[in-house]
Structures are given as C-alpha cells and as structure tokens.
Structure 1
C-alpha cells in the first residue's frame, strides 16, 4: 500500500507527536539519557508553546503508561468542577448549556500536575531539564504553524474588543502570527523560570523536592493566585454575556492528579487499555466488543458500514452511561451477552436513531438537550453541527464559536517504557490569556450537562466527561503499541480504524494511519453547542467511489471531504521478540512527525 512516509524503525527510542518541535525535543531528552516519561513531559510543555490553539498548561491530559516490566496505569490529568460550579448557579444565570468559552467553563486545571506526577514517579530528569525546551521556544520564539494564524483571525474581534490580554500575545502590533515571523510568549517563559527558581530555592538539588515544590507553587503560590484572579474577572463568553467563573484558591489547593487502573478489552490476542468511564475511552472498547468474530474485507463498504453503525451504538451508550457523577456499568457494557444483543441492532441500512442500551435492565436517560436535538434532527437530514471533515472539536466555527483541538504524544524507549498522552484544553481561544502567566484557563466544563441526575451532570468535585482518549495495546499481555489522535468525538472512531488496520488489515503503522478515513456525527457533540447530524457520515475523497456509492445506497448521508482530513494519528510500537522500535505520524494537518533511531 502507498504511504506518505516510511514507518520509522530503530532500537534506541521513538517519538511521535502532533508537532515536529515537540517530537524533536522529546528525542533530545532520550539522546541525553532520559527515559520515555522524561521525554513525554518535555514534549508536553513544548506543545503548550507551539500549539497554543490546541492546548495549554491549564488544560487537561490523560496519560496511559506502561513502565517496563510493570503493569499499565492511567494517570488522570482531568481536573474536576470547582465547588461553586453547581447546576443551580448556572441555571440562575439563565443558561441551558455551559458556555463554550470563558471562566464559567473552566474546570480545575489538570495538565500541569499530571506532568509533574509523571516526571516525579517515572522520570529521571530535573524540572529545569525538561522545561528548558519550552522556555527556549517561548522566550526566543518559534515559527508558528499556519493554523495558529487562522484561529487568531477567527477570534480577532473578540481579542481586540474583549480579551485584550490575548491580543497582546497573539496580535502584537495588530498582526496575527505567521510562519515567516517568530512567535514569542515572554510571559510564559517568565512563569516557568520563576517556577524553576522558586522550586530550586526551596528544595536545593533534590529532584523530587523540586517537583513537589513546583506543584505547591502551582496550587498555592503565584500561579494559583493569578488563575483565581482571572476566574473572577467578568469575561465575554459564547452566551453573549460577561460572566465570572467559580474557580477558587481552595479548588486549586485541594486537587491532585492521580493514578488508576486502565479499562481493558481483549480481542484476538490483543488487549487495549483505556482510561475509565469518566472519559470517552471505553467507547473504543465497546466498538471492539460489538464486532463479530469475522470481519468484512478491510476498507469495503460492508466494513465501513459495520464500524459506523457500531460506533453509533457505543456513542449512544456514552451519552446515557458515561460520566464521573455516577457509577459507569462498564462490566456490563463490555460483556458478551450485552454486546450480542446490541450487535443484533446493526442492520443493512444506516440508523438515524440515538439508541442507548439498558445494561442490567436499567432504563437509559439522556439530557433534555440531547433528546430535543435528536427529535428535531432525526429524519430531516439537516445538519445540527458543522459538516464536512473535521467537524466537532478540531475546528473553529464560521460564526466565531470556538471548539479548540487536541495534541498527542507517544514515546517508547530502549528499555521498553511506553507512554501515550493526549494534552488538550486551555487553548488560546478558550479564555483570555492570564497576563501574569502567559496562558489561559480551560473550558472542559462545557462537556457537562445542566440536567440533574445524569452520569455527566455538572457536579462540584466531579470530572466532566472528556473526549481525550490515548490508547495502549498489549499483545499476549506484553505492551507493544501506544497510539492516539486529536479530534474530539472523532478520536475513537479514527483510532478504531487505525487499530483494525494493524490487527485485521495487516498494515504497518504508517499505512494504517494513511488509509482513507471517515467519521460520523449521529450523536450529541461533546462541545458547545452540542449538535448532532443523524445519519451523517463524512469520508475522505480518497475513499473508493464504489464504496461511497454503496454507503449512500444503504442510507448514509455521505459528505465527501478533502483527501487528507480525517485524523491526526500518532503511534509508536515495540516488538518484544526483537526489541525493534517503530513509529509513524499522520501527514494530515501538516505538522505531526515521528522521529527516532
């Protein structure tokens, strides 16, 4: 099969990320003797600088990690709703949905503390050693990718008229970032330098002590003070009004990232590991559980139809059963009997219904908004969200409504350590830049519903359900592959196609990434304004026209997008028999690269 790039192979270390500067920074850490976890942390902080339209330090990052010879773990870098973020408070403001921007949408920031725990518990480098690459790019500048300029232009009026601290960073002299000019963020560089200085002054040469002091400064020191001040500033958001947020000093001081066991599913000797039901992660596992023993030919119309219809059922269950505000019945959702019954719902034609299941006989319940949208859109063919490639999280809507995007880092080292991380949130279009810090608050609370009694209801101290969903796969019980993609609701659709390309299609990493992709929108979107498009299926124009026609004959409302628009996958792998490492990155987006030797 034709591929845009070779799958890289070597024995020393491999990195794949959504930006070449992050990949190269991670590789530099490996070359200097650091391990995969040191490299991932360094790359994560670089991504905060070079992909500010996609993520930031006050966003989130779930991590799936496999330390050599030890069990796979999930590190949760998703902060919860603040204590004051009650449904009653938002309803008192006349809101039916959490705004897509502004401080009302800000959860407790999670990314920074998660990076620090990963470095403390599994890394070997010091705080200064992993931050030096991000500091250099923020202080001395980096050539920005074109998409930063496009994002800034979309929110130019908002920045110039309302979010002036953001204009100071991203519209200096009234000009947006451009690839031919260096983009600097001196305030961010000063933040990290001050953090390093304060941590070193308090802990001396004690590496662990420095990291712990950095965590304290973030939660209780100058960083926390600036974040709380920003949350209290009236800010224009997507509701069209100015609101203050609910984030408090107590919220910041009282939360820490933490570890948990992954949720897993076994198929044909492969075990896929994901974050729990507070995330979208189990959707990939449910899709695997819904597959029959024998699959249609890879890439055929039968194959695409089967995957799309299974995705609709898994996503319907996500809407009814996933969230941190209630127990998620994952054992039943992944069980054989439950999925045998659900599998029988997949017919010869496309479904336009939202059909959650009833695990254990419990009746499903959806948000009032989701039910209203589903009733309004079912059978009409009218799009309730942007159609075409990249609809959902990866785009900024034409009306200026912002959805942000996500980044991805995968690393494997010569010792067999493996990690996948999906940093996101806190992007430049989420909230105004905190002037003292150089980065904004996040907006992950927009994913929670303002209806009581749902698994994903807005609840103080509980995590909003996130779309962030890195993956790690084992073969016969041994970690062999870490992978993931940006893309909001599309992430586990694109990852399933990639995974089956490797396990079912016989493709190597790059070929599985390059294969023509698709996504469907037949469920409520996770991002404001929470639209859906029943029966909607977007495919790349490289898909076989005969397959496209067959899908239309089956009733799918097919939109043909651009040739390279469905996915931004990254992957690394290790063959435990030979020790050979491999890596690949998606050409889509024109900025993700793999590097290694």
Structure 2
C-alpha cells in the first residue's frame, strides 16, 4: 500500500476537514487563541459556504465533544424534528406512500445552525462575530468552486431555471452554470449571517447573550419568518413530479432547542469508544465492535480475505439491527442496552460463518421482535430528463459512481487543541441539489425527513416532533480516560463501516493515522439505504480495486457479490488524536477526492 500523504504530528493542535479552506479556518481560530470548539464552529460555518452541495445552514449536524476540563464526552444533537403537521395521514392525503427525496415536504427543523451555536455557547470561548467572520468572508468575497459542486449545479441547472428561480439566482451567475475552480459568491447568505451578527450585537455586549440572540434571530426572528412565509405561499416542484407546500412552520422552528446528550460507550481492547444514540446510526459502530470481540482480527491480517469477510458479516448483523430497531428514543423504546449486552452480542457473533449469510435477520433483544421494511423499487421513466432522475435520488450526489460509492455527500471537521479538548462533527443536509434556496436567505432547507418511514409501528416511523433517523455519526475514543482519537467521514449509510476500517487499522494493526485513512476499504449494500429510493443490493460488497486480486476472488468464492470500484473512492475519513507516548497532536485526512485536508501546530 502506498500512502499518499505524510503522517502529521505537532505539539499544539490538529485540524482535519473535508475541505482545505475549513481546515485553514479552524487552524486560524486556534492561532487566534480559540479552543478546539471555537475552531470547529468557525470551520463548520465555513463548510456551509464552500461545500454548498453537501451541507448548509438549513441542514443538520451531529457533534461529539470531549471536554478536557470535565473529562467527559457529550453529544450535541443538531438533528431537528419533523414538523407538527408531518403525519402519516397527511402524506397519505397527498397520495404519497413515501416521503419525497426532494422539495420542501421532507424538511425537518434545520438543526445545524442551532447546534453550532450550542457548541460555541457551552464549550467555546470566542464571540459569535469572530467565528462567523470566515464564512461571511467566503460568501461575500468568493471561494473556489469544487468540481463536484460545479457538476451538481450543471446537472440541476434546467430545474433551477424552470422551477427554482431563487436557486438559479444564487448558483447560475449570469444564467449559466459556473466552471469548477471559478470564484463563487453567495451574497444573500453573507447578508443573512451579517444581519444575525448585527442583531446579536444589538442585543448585548455579553458573549452568551449574543449567541442566544443569534439563535432567536434564526429560529424566532427574520430567518424563521422567511422560511414560514415561503412554505405557506409557494408550491415547490419535487421528486414526485408535482408541486407541494411545505409542512414546516414558524411554530416548529420557535419550539426547538438543540440538546446536549449522553453518548453510548463500549470498551474495546482497553479503549473507550463513544457514539451518539439510536436517533443516528452511530450505535451500529459499537455493535460491530462487540460482534468482532471474539474474532482474532490481528491474526487474520489487515485486509485479508478472512478479515474482510468477518467484518462484512458483522456489518450485516449490526445493520440488520439498525434497520429493525433504531429510532428516536424520545418517541419509541429502543432496546439499546440489550443490543450491546455481552450475552446478546456473543450470541449474534456466533452467527458469523465461513460463507456469506444470504438472509441476515435482526436479533430479538429481550425477546422482542421487529422487522426490516424493504422498499419496492420504483420504475424510472425511459424518457425522464437527467435532472429529474437526480432529483429522485435522496443523496446530494449526481454522478452514478458517487451514488454507489457515497464519497462526496456530507462534510466532516475534527479538532484537537493544546489542552486536549477534542471535537468531531459531521454536518450535512440543506444541500443545493434537493431543495430550493429560500428567497432572501441564500440557503436551502434539508430533506432529512425522507429517511423516516410512512409505516405504522416501526421505530423509525414518521411522527410529529420526532427526529428522523440520521446517518451522521461522529466517533470519540479515549485511552485510559485520556483523549486519543476523534474521527468522522462523509458517506451516508457507509460512514460507520469506513470509519471502522480506519479505527481498526490504527488501533489493531499499528498504522499511523494518515495511513489508516488511506488503507483500502469496503462496505455492504445489503440493506435498504436511508435515502430515497431506499435501494438495496442483497449480498453485495463494494470493494476498492486496490485490494489484492486474490482477496477479491476468495470473497467471491465465499458467496459475496463483489462490486469493484476504482481505488480511493470510498469515503473521506478525517481524524485527529493524541499520541499516547509523545503527547503530540495528530491530524489526518483521507486523500480520496483530493479535497480533504489536515493541519497541525
């Protein structure tokens, strides 16, 4: 294996992000005296500007935080709930048996903005204006447009011109799709953020009061008013081929506050691994680790046929449980403790055999039963324009390879500072492809509601005020109670498979953190994807071509259906950490996509 980038370490701090400008923003904030949390907030807002095809202020984020002063890990939930008007009956009344992939019907309360503010208020030290300044600067003065963003804009340009005029105004300067690398502006978004800062500073000279005022400006003030007015008065064309009003209201926004929650924890080979709860897919990472506990991965060898097979089979069992059991624990009883109990995981782990399991089933924790809701594939009209086909896909990507590999959908920022604070965030949603720009605001709403089910009685069934299950899944790892690793990746349903590869490569096989992000990887496509059209490919394992051909052949002989994709196409893992021997801060960014970047101080 050839590692493309050097292993980075330094005495003071480390930053890694899916965009080099965000990594630079985070580093600059640290240089100005901010802590890891200040740096993450500034970088997170910058990502909303420079990766508009992957996230935005109208989207969502899950944030994992390790505070050195308290020695504890916490999760900040930036996944807003569904509107009070969003009921299964309401969608049935529209003649729909699933929540559309695009438009404004799948919009939940936009949680990203509030979650970043909660991180700043509770854990940060810098004033709001300082952390918003880089994002405002890029939006107003311009930033280089990524090739993937240019590709997305070009693919959706006919829709923007015909149906979404405010998206056309922002993303089609001069009426034409901009070229990759061109200087892109978003003056409306810059003005929105500037006015939020103005209202915050007018409210008070105190940092905490200003942050609270900024939250009010977004969720109870002019931003909420603009969203409410647009959704009430405008029918938006969506993936159904029809136009609909949205269900989200000003009351929904005003009622929401981001929460700080306890994580789930699992001990693995002396390391404490922390993940968000089952309103995300995060516990599936812990379930995979628990299932692998009784298997000698080191003896198998990294990326051997035995290693890949064992991990694939563990993923099938964990994700079968995800599909059957995970949902918002505020609304349904999720038997998470039972799913992670040693007796249960030992029983499940014993199901891993030498050949591929063709029909893996969810377990029965505490004797309870659930089911996996398989989606019926919908036919695509032969004469459908490409932009409509892309609109029907719930992922933000537009190329066929990206849909399959999932490398470009979502962002990540991870930071460790000099005192040992660590934070990793995975923001997504509110991307430009799937929902129109709100007039006067410069950003689109998210479409996370599409991941909820219009099926009564399932843990992930739609309900008013309930969080749709999200794929956003950051990880923090402590070693003997001290900061060790923080990491995340874009990739939708694949996140907790790709990051597991990085985690095992460094903790079980001794690879340095950068090499661990670059090692060949793989994932299963067996179960329905979280995003429309909820496609599944039973038995399929997607592997990068950089695997040893003999390994690929052996996996096929064991009954796996192999989809071999180009090397370095699965994920962009971003990670930071602390070397337990030297105390140096570490940072690594996967070389996939030539976009993610890491820096150290």
| TM tier relative to shorter chain | over 0.9
Q: Tell whether the 8 Å contact from 1:393 to 1:487 is kept in structure 2 after alignment.
A: no
1:336-376 CA deviation, whole Å, 9 max, x = no partner? 11112211222222123241111111112233x44x57xx9
Q: Tell whether the 8 Å contact from 1:514 to 1:586 is kept in structure 2 after alignment.
A: yes
Q: How far apart are residue 576 of structure 1 and its match?
A: 4.7
1:343 aligned residue (330, 346, 349): 349
Q: Tell whether the 8 Å contact from 1:82 to 1:251 is kept in structure 2 after alignment.
A: yes
TM-score, structure 1 length as denominator?
A: 0.94
2:340 aligned residue (311, 328, 334): 334
Moved more, 462-471 or 152-161: 152-161
Q: Tell whether the 8 Å contact from 1:481 to 1:573 is kept in structure 2 after alignment.
A: yes
Q: What is residue 390 of structure 2 aligned with on the other side?
A: none
Q: What is residue 172 of structure 2 aligned with on the other side?
A: 171
- Closer, same or farther: CA 521–36 of 1 in aligned 2, 3 Å: same
TM-score, structure 2 length as denominator?
A: 0.94
Alpha-carbon distance in 1 for matches of 2:103, 2:181: 31
Q: Tell whether the 8 Å contact from 2:29 to 2:39 is kept in structure 1 after alignment.
A: yes
Q: Tell whether the 8 Å contact from 2:61 to 2:111 is kept in structure 1 after alignment.
A: yes
Alpha-carbon distance in 2 for matches of 1:174, 1:398: 26
- Closer, same or farther: CA 134–570 of 1 in aligned 2, 3 Å: same
Unaligned runs of 5+ in 2: 380-392
SS at structure 1 position matched to 2:487: strand
Alpha-carbon distance in 2 for matches of 1:399, 1:474: 36
2:451 pairs with 1:447: yes
2:365 pairs with 1:356: no
Superposition pairs for residues 93-492 of structure 1, below 5 Å? 93-203=94-204, 205-232=205-232, 233-291=234-292, 292-295=294-297, 296-324=300-328, 325-367=331-373, 369-370=374-375, 393=395, 395-396=397-398, 405-492=409-496
SS at structure 2 position matched to 1:429: coil
2:5 pairs with 1:5: yes
SS at structure 1 position matched to 2:265: strand
- Closer, same or farther: CA 400–279 of 1 in aligned 2, 3 Å: closer
Q: How far apart are residue 155 of structure 1 and its match?
A: 1.3
- Closer, same or farther: CA 394–589 of 1 in aligned 2, 3 Å: farther
- Closer, same or farther: CA 176–239 of 1 in aligned 2, 3 Å: same
Q: Tell whether the 8 Å contact from 2:15 to 2:27 is kept in structure 1 after alignment.
A: yes
- Closer, same or farther: CA 432–392 of 1 in aligned 2, 3 Å: closer
Q: How far apart are residue 584 of structure 1 and its match?
A: 0.5
Q: What is residue 52 of structure 1 aligned with on the other side?
A: 52
SS at structure 2 position matched to 1:160: helix
Alpha-carbon distance in 2 for matches of 1:150, 1:98: 26
Q: How far apart are residue 198 of structure 1 and its match?
A: 1.0
Q: How far apart are residue 3 of structure 1 and its match?
A: 1.1
Q: How far apart are residue 69 of structure 1 and its match?
A: 3.3
Q: How far apart are residue 395 of structure 1 and its match?
A: 2.9
SS at structure 2 position matched to 1:568: coil
Report the RMSD for the aligned CA atoms in angstroms: 1.9
1:246-305 CA deviation, whole Å, 9 max, x = no partner? 111110000000101100111110111000011000000000011124222111000000
Q: How far apart are residue 575 of structure 1 and its match?
A: 2.7
2:497 aligned residue (482, 493, 499): 493
Alpha-carbon distance in 2 for matches of 1:401, 1:288: 27
Alpha-carbon distance in 2 for matches of 1:397, 1:358: 39
Q: Tell whether the 8 Å contact from 1:7 to 1:510 is kept in structure 2 after alignment.
A: yes
Alpha-carbon distance in 2 for matches of 1:224, 1:354: 45
Alpha-carbon distance in 2 for matches of 1:453, 1:477: 40
The alignment of Structure 1 onto Structure 2 pairs a total of residues equal to 579
2:21 pairs with 1:21: yes
Alpha-carbon distance in 1 for matches of 2:356, 2:231: 45
Q: How far apart are residue 335 of structure 1 and its match?
A: 1.2
